[in-house]
Amino acid sequence: MSEFLEHPDTVSGTVKWFDPVKGFGFIVSGDDGPDILLHVNVLRNFGQSSVADGAEVNVRIQKTDRGVQAIEVLAIQPPAHVDSEPLADIAELDRDAVANAPLEPGRVKWFDKGKGFGFANVFGAPEDVFLHVEVLRRSGLSDLAPGEALALRVIDGKRGRMAAEVQAWEAAITKGGDD
């Protein structure tokens, strides 16, 4: 029988990897402890279906006879640096202008991680919003599921409307939206 802590610890760490298809991944704790299992259901309770490799996370954990597991995600920060070139449409924007753009409610129409892009619908707007995998990574996500609720900061790019920032809907409303 598993032996659980009465009061789970809170740990900060970095996402080592997360595979939404497999439904789990691992966090490397900041205090050099053992790797921490992160199950997709725990991530979904936070309002996300994926998390980017290298993202910083704060989680509550439990120790079991099978290892350490995250039982609640408290916060996720996108990776500090991204190894790829920024998208031209976004690189040319004023960061403050993007940060001050309102969060708009939307849903994923489709997203293909292999192709590196997809589209979302913003409620009340007739045109689709382009979603690029690099914007997801910079936002702390790695993949999206059809129908997933999002909060988007949308800009007018060279080829139409595109997301400059993506947040899981539940995380955005929990943080109070624009912080």
DSSP string, 85-127: PPPHHHHTS-HHHHHHSPEEEEEEEEEETTTTEEEEEETT-SS
Lowest-pLDDT choice from 4-8, 60-64, 81-85, 152-156: 4-8
Q: Return the residue matching tokens 């976004």.
A: 90
Q: Which H or E run includes 72? A: strand 67-77
pLDDT of 5 reads 41
pLDDT of 1 reads 37
Q: What is the mean pLDDT of residues 173-177?
A: 59
- Picking from 173, 170, 132, the residue whose alpha carbon sits closest to that of residue 154 is 132
Q: What is the mean pLDDT of the chain?
A: 83
pLDDT tier, 18 (very low <50, low <70, confident <90, very high otherwise): very high
pTM for the model: 0.67
Give SS3 for 42. Answer: helix
DSSP structure class, residue 82: -
- Picking from 83, 84, 76, 86, the residue whose alpha carbon sits closest to that of residue 15 is 76
Of 179 and 98, more confident:
98
Q: At a CB cut-off of 8 Å and minimum separation 6, what does 66 contact?
A: 2
pLDDT of 109 reads 96
In the predicted model, is pLDDT for residue 145 greater than 60?
Answer: yes
In the predicted model, is pLDDT for residue 15 greater than 60?
Answer: yes
Q: What is the mean pLDDT of residues 14-26?
A: 91
Task: Sketch out the chain's domains with CATH numbers.
Answer: 9-77 (2.40.50.140), 88-174 (2.40.50.140)
- Picking from 88, 86, 123, 83, the residue whose alpha carbon sits closest to that of residue 107 is 123
pLDDT of 81 reads 60
Q: How many CB atoms lie within 10 A of CB 146?
A: 10
pLDDT tier, 6 (very low <50, low <70, confident <90, very high otherwise): very low
